[in-house]
């Protein structure tokens, strides 16, 4: 890799931390970080799943795919942000992993830095993948991997709270009907909705369904549509439908508020399903409604399986076999169940719903979802996101009006 490529990789490393997903695992390695095997019969895989130790179903799947490809697997697991930085450093040293599994917003950063091969180059078939999910791994008209699965946001609701307030969940179809439901809940002496508006990527992640649901685009965060979305949130706080704590809430603390049983709604993700089962009250899930009805696009979480650029191009053929194995229909079903992900293909989604009907609203939400770096934003997204969460903080705290906050955000982006 030439010196100019190394300079570009260094610049990319400076932006990548900002696009970490809303929730990440703790750091843990299951092997060394050197990626070049001593012999060509060993292939390296880096992933962001340190919670899955050696002997886990995930680790066994990696080994099984290696066996089918006729090679041994050397796996290393990192925290999400640490993994990306390690990948950038390894690329500078021409020491990249053979297969790299990374958080989807990071794909465009690595691709634009020249680190990843395209699916055309490595012959990975993505034809069955839902286009809206594949979009998170596309930039410049090219695709740089395939999703292993996706999670996204939706609205959990407490059935008992809504019943007491006289709210039929079927009536909640758009922003007006949702706000009307919150009003009834408050009058009944309960609490309305909780979410995360913290001044980090988590805050942007949670605001995006409302932002996109208004018809706004990330290329113009100061639009009238964007202002309407932020005004919605601000109005909820002013009327007491949402607590002031949302300004500092992470997705975890927001969930803890909902778990008290006092709130009607909580915006949160598929990763809370296990906690929802333990909450001690009956709950349901609906996709986030768009302003005028229908399902709003929520941002996708989840990882892409990618093939980094190698000095020895002969390794790509085996890497392709490994990726194909990891993302096959049978393996996706098992893996996405383990990760609480919705599968990226309709065939596996149907199997998931058949096995667990409660996943149906999540499949609907994922089908309407959108990658944060879609619309060819690529490495522009981190700067836009930072200005977006700053605008949300300013408006909800009352230091600026929604319009002024978003106008300032757009000026800063430019």
User: Which residues have C-beta within 8 Å of that of residue 350, sequence separation ≥ 6?
Assistant: none
pLDDT given at position 378: 85
Query: Looking up tokens 């096995």, which residue turns up?
Result: 355
What CATH number is given for 153-298+377-413 in this structure? 3.40.190.10
Q: 3-150+301-367: which CATH topology? A: D-Maltodextrin-Binding Protein; domain 2 (3.40.190)
pLDDT tens track, the chain, 414 positions = 333 333 344 444 444 434 434 433 333 334 444 444 445 799 999 999 998 998 999 999 999 999 999 999 999 999 877 888 899 899 988 899 999 999 998 999 899 999 999 999 999 999 999 999 999 999 989 999 999 999 999 999 999 999 999 999 999 999 999 999 999 999 999 999 999 999 999 999 999 999 999 999 999 999 999 999 999 999 999 999 999 999 999 999 999 999 999 999 999 999 899 899 999 999 999 999 999 999 999 999 999 999 999 999 999 999 999 999 999 999 999 989 888 899 999 999 999 999 999 899 999 999 999 999 988 888 899 899 999 999 999 999 999 999 999 999 999 998
Question: What is the rounded distance in angstroms from the CA atom of residue 130 to the CA atom of residue 147?
Answer: 10
- Output the six-digit token pair for 318: 């085996």
pTM over 0.85: no
pLDDT given at position 314: 94
- Output the six-digit token pair for 266: 């909580």
Q: Of 393, 382, 369, whose CA–CA distance to 218 is shortest?
A: 382
User: Left, alpha or beta for 28 (phi > 0: left; psi -120 to 50: alpha)?
Assistant: beta
Cβ atoms 177, 367 nearer than 8 A: no
Q: Of 105, 108, 61, 39, whose CA–CA distance to 334 is shortest?
A: 61
Residue 75, beta-bridge partner list: 45
Residue 64, beta-bridge partner list: none
pLDDT given at position 376: 83
Residues composing the chain: 414
Question: Which H or E run contains 143?
Answer: strand 142-143
Fold equal for 3-150+301-367 and 153-298+377-413: yes
Q: Residue 360, CB half-sphere, CA atoms under 13 Å: how many?
A: 4
Longest dimension (CA), the chain: 70
User: Which residues have C-beta within 8 Å of that of residue 73, sequence separation ≥ 6?
Assistant: 42, 43, 44, 45, 62, 63, 65, 66, 322
pLDDT given at position 414: 84
pLDDT given at position 25: 33
Q: How many helices (H) and strands (E) does the chain have?
A: 18, 11
Question: What is the rounded distance in angstroms from the CA atom of residue 150 to the CA atom of residue 305?
Answer: 12
Query: Looking up tokens 């703790």, which residue turns up?
Result: 26
Query: Looking up tokens 């098992």, which residue turns up?
Result: 334
Q: Residue 384, CB half-sphere, CA atoms under 13 Å: how many?
A: 20
pLDDT given at position 79: 83
User: Which residues have C-beta within 8 Å of that of residue 241, sequence separation ≥ 6?
Assistant: 179, 182, 183, 185, 186, 192, 193, 235
Cβ atoms 34, 62 nearer than 8 A: no
The values of phi and psi at residue 328, to 5°, are -70, 160
* Extents of the domains making up the chain: 3-150+301-367, 153-298+377-413
Cβ atoms 200, 21 nearer than 8 A: no
Question: What is the rounded distance in angstroms from the CA atom of residue 411 to the CA atom of residue 414?
Answer: 5
Question: What is the rounded distance in angstroms from the CA atom of residue 131 to the CA atom of residue 146?
Answer: 11
CA-based R_g, the chain, Å: 22
């Amino acid at each position: 890799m030439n010196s100019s490529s190394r300079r570009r990789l260094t610049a990319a490393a400076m932006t990548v931390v900002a696009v970490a997903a809303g929730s990440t695992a703790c750091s843990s390695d299951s092997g060394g970080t050197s990626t070049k095997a001593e012999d060509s019969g060993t292939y390296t895989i880096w992933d962001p799943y340190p919670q899955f130790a050696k002997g886990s179903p995930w680790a066994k799947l990696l080994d099984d795919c290696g066996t089918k490809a006729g090679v041994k697997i050397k796996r290393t697991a990192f925290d999400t942000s640490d993994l990306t930085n390690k990948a950038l450093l390894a690329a500078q040293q021409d020491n990249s992993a053979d297969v790299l599994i990374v958080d989807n917003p990071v794909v465009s950063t690595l691709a634009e830095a020249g680190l990843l091969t395209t699916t055309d180059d490595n012959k990975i078939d993505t034809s069955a993948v839902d286009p809206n999910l594949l979009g998170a791994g596309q930039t410049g008209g090219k695709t740089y991997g395939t999703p292993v699965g996706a999670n996204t946001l939706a609205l959990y609701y407490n059935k008992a709270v809504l019943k007491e307030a006289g709210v039929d969940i079927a009536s909640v179809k758009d922003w007006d009907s949702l706000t009307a439901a919150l009003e009834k809940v408050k009058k009944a002496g309960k609490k309305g909705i909780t979410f995360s508006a913290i001044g980090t990527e988590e805050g942007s992640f949670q605001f995006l369904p409302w932002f996109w649901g208004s018809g706004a685009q990330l290329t113009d965060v100061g639009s009238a549509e964007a202002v309407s979305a932020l005004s919605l949130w601000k109005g909820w706080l002013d009327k007491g439908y949402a607590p002031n704590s949302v300004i500092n809430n992470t997705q975890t603390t927001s969930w803890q508020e909902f778990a008290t049983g006092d709130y009607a709604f909580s915006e949160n993700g598929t990763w809370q399903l296990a906690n929802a089962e333990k909450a001690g009250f009956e709950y349901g899930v609906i996709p986030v409604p768009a302003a005028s009805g229908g399902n709003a696009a929520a941002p996708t979480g989840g990882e892409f399986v990618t093939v980094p650029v190698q000095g020895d191009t002969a390794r790509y053929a085996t890497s392709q076999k490994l990726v194909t194995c990891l993302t096959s229909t049978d393996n996706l079903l098992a893996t996405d169940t383990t990760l609480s992900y919705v599968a990226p293909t309709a065939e596996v989604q149907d199997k998931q719903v058949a096995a667990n009907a409660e996943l149906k609203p999540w499949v609907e939400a994922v089908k309407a979802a959108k990658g944060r770096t879609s619309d060819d934003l690529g490495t522009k997204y981190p700067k836009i996101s930072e200005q977006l969460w700053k605008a949300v903080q300013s408006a909800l705290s009352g230091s600026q009006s929604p319009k002024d906050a978003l106008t300032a955000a757009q000026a800063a982006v430019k």
